[in-house]
Amino acid sequence: MPIDLASLRRTRGIDLSVWPPRYDPAYLPAADAEHWAPELECATPADRDAIVLDKLRRQVRWAWERSPLYRRRWEAAGVSPDTLRTLADLARFPVVHKADLRAAQAAHPPFGDYVCVDRSEIARIHGTSGTTGRPTAFAVGRDDWGRIGEAHARIMWGAGLRPDDTILICSFFSLYLGSWGVLRGGERLGATMFPFGAGVPGQTLMAVQWAADVRPTAFYGTPSYALHCAETARREGLNPGALGFRTMFFSGEPGAGIPATKRLIEATFGATCIDMGSMAEMTPWMTNGECRHRTGMHLWQDIVYTEVCDAETFRPVPYGAEGTPVYTHLERTSQPMIRLVSGDRTRWTDEACPCGRTYPRLPLGLFGRLDDMIIVRGENLYPSAIEDTLRAIAGFGGEFRVIVSRREAMDELLVRAEYAATHADAAAQAALGATMRERLRARLGIHPVVELVPEGTLERTEFKARRVVDDRDLYRSLTDGPR
Ligand SMILES: [Zn+2]
C-alpha cells in the first residue's frame, strides 16, 4: 500500500508533497516510541522506493538546471532528468569522485560549479583540513541546515537518544562538520547539548573531569578518542564505567563497527556503542547510522540514497556482496551530491533488524577504505581486521601500529602492539606475542612479525587514528635508482 502522504504530514509533520520537503520543527514522537517516522522507516522497500524516486527526480532536476558541472557530465553520458524513470536508471548517471570536487573548486572558487543556491542563501561554510591536498569547501544553505537537523534528530532517535539525554561532544569544533552535525541534531531532538570540543592540550583530562561532574548520558567522538578518554580516566583513579554514559555514538573511523572494538567500548563504559557516518560531503552524514539494536548501520534511504557498487563499474552489487558506497542526496539544495563515490569498503544486506526498520544494512560497517587496503605478499589486508584481532586478545595494551616494509625484496608485515601492565614479565609477554602472531596469521593469511612495547608507548589520537606506515615506497625509491 503506498505511503499515505496526507497522514504523514498530519501525524509526523513531514510534508513530502513539496520539494525540498518541509518539516514541522516542533514534531517529536512519544518518548517510548521506537521510531520517529515509522511510515517511512518500516515501509516495504517498494513503497519507500516510490518516495525515494520522486525525491530523486526532483533533486536531479534541481542540479540539472543549476549546476554546470552536473549538466556537462550528464549530457556527455546521455542522461538527463527525463531518462530517470526508475531507481535503477540512476546507475547510468556518471559517478563523482572527491578529486572532481577539488578540481571544480580550483576552477570555480570557492565552492565549485556545483553550488546550486545564491551566495546569500549560504548559512555555513565548512571544509576538509586539506592535509592530503587542496581542501574542499562545503557551503550549506540555510534551509539545508534545518533539514540536516531534522535528519540527524530522527536518526539519533533511532540510536536510542531522547530529549532527557545530555550529550557530550568530544570532537573538534572547527571546519570539521561532524561535531556541528551532532550539535544541530541534538538540539532539534531537544537534548541537553554539551559541545566540549577536543584538540587543546590538557583537554582530554578536562573532558573526563567535566563528565564526572556534569554526568552526561551520551558521548560523541571517535572510537579511538573514547578509549583514550577511558585510559585518562583510569589514570585519575576514575572508573570509565561509572561516568554514567548510556549511549556512545561515533563517526570518523570504522572502529565502532569493528566487533572487538565495539565490545571493548561497551565493556569499558557500560554503554551501547553506536556506529555512524558516511562522508562530510554527504551531510546529513548520519544516514549511515545504527539503531539501538546495533546490527550494523542502516542506510536511511529516503534521506540519502545509497547504492553499494562494484568499485570499477559503479553498478550496484546484489545484497550480500561487497562494494563501495555511492551516495546521492535527496533533499539538498546548496551543494547536492549525486552519485558521490565514497571509496570505503563495505558489504550490504536486506536481512531484517529487530527494530523493524526495513532499510538495508551494513552489518560490518565500513570496514576499510580502498586506499588504506594494503597488499602484502598478494593478500589484501585492512587495518580494521588487525584491530579486531588484537582487541579480542587479553593482555593487549590498547594501541598498535602496522608497518609494512620490504626486506630482501619480500614484503614484511610488522605489528607493533602494546602489552597491558598485567603482562610485564617475560613469560607472559612471550605467550602474548605467540597468541598475537597465531591469531593474526589465522585472520590475515600471512605471518606477521609481532613486536611488543609497554602500554602507553604509542601516541593516542584525539581524532582519527593513523596506524599504518608503508615503508615500501621508500625501499623502492632506494633500490630502483633514478627513473
Ligand atoms: Zn535496526
Decide if 237 is inside a domain.
Answer: no
Instruction: Indicate the number of domains in the chain.
Output: 1
Asked whether the predicted pLDDT for residue 39 surpasses 60, the reply is yes
Decide if 469 is inside a domain.
Answer: yes
Residue with cell 602500554: 455
Query: For residue 361, how far is its CA from the centre of ligand 1 (angstroms)?
Result: 8
Query: For residue 355, how far is its CA from the centre of ligand 1 (angstroms)?
Result: 4
Query: For residue 432, how far is its CA from the centre of ligand 1 (angstroms)?
Result: 37
CATH of the domain at 444: 3.30.300.30
Decide if 323 is inside a domain.
Answer: no
Decide if 417 is inside a domain.
Answer: yes
Asked whether the predicted pLDDT for residue 469 surpasses 90, the reply is no
Decide if 383 is inside a domain.
Answer: yes
Query: For residue 294, how far is its CA from the centre of ligand 1 (angstroms)?
Result: 7
The pTM for the full model equals 0.87
Interval 48-71: pLDDT, tens:
999 999 999 999 999 999 999 999
Decide if 472 is inside a domain.
Answer: yes
pLDDT given at position 132? 60
Decide if 311 is inside a domain.
Answer: no
Interval 374-392: pLDDT, tens:
888 777 788 888 998 999 9
Query: For residue 295, how far is its CA from the centre of ligand 1 (angstroms)?
Result: 6
Q: Which domain range does residue 396 map to?
A: 373-479
Q: What is the 3-state secondary structure (H, E, C) of the chain?
A: CCCCHHHHHHHHCEECCCCCCEECCCCCCCCCCCCCCHHHHCCCHHHHHHHHHHHHHHHHHHHHHHCHHHHHHHHHHCCCHHHCCCHHHHHHCCCECHHHHHHHHHHCCCCCCCCCCCHHHEEEEEECCCCCCCCCEEEEEHHHHHHHHHHHHHHHHHCCCCCCCEEEECCCCCCCHHHHHHHHHHHHHCCEEEECCCCCCCHHHHHHHHHHHHCCCEEEECHHHHHHHHHHHHHCCCCHHHCCCCEEEECCCHHHHCHHHHHHHHHHHCCEEEEECCCHHHCCHHHEECCCCCCCEEECCCCEEEEEECCCCCCECCCCCEEEEEEEECCCCCCCCEEEECCEEEECECCCCCCCCCCCEECCCEEEEHHHCEEECCEEECHHHHHHHHHCCCCEEEEEEEEEEEECCEEEEEEEEEECHHHCCHHHHHHHHHHHHHHHHHHHCCCCEEEEEECCCCCCCCCCCCCEEECHHHHHHHHCCCC
Decide if 2 is inside a domain.
Answer: no
Mean pLDDT of 11-31: 97
Q: How confident is the model at residue 158 (pLDDT cuts 50, 70, 90)?
A: very high
Write down the mean pLDDT value for the chain: 93
Residue with cell 532528468: 81
Interval 226-272: pLDDT, tens:
999 999 999 999 999 999 999 999 998 877 889 999 999 999 999 99
pLDDT given at position 375? 80
Query: For residue 387, how far is its CA from the centre of ligand 1 (angstroms)?
Result: 25
Query: For residue 39, how far is its CA from the centre of ligand 1 (angstroms)?
Result: 15
Query: For residue 156, how far is its CA from the centre of ligand 1 (angstroms)?
Result: 12
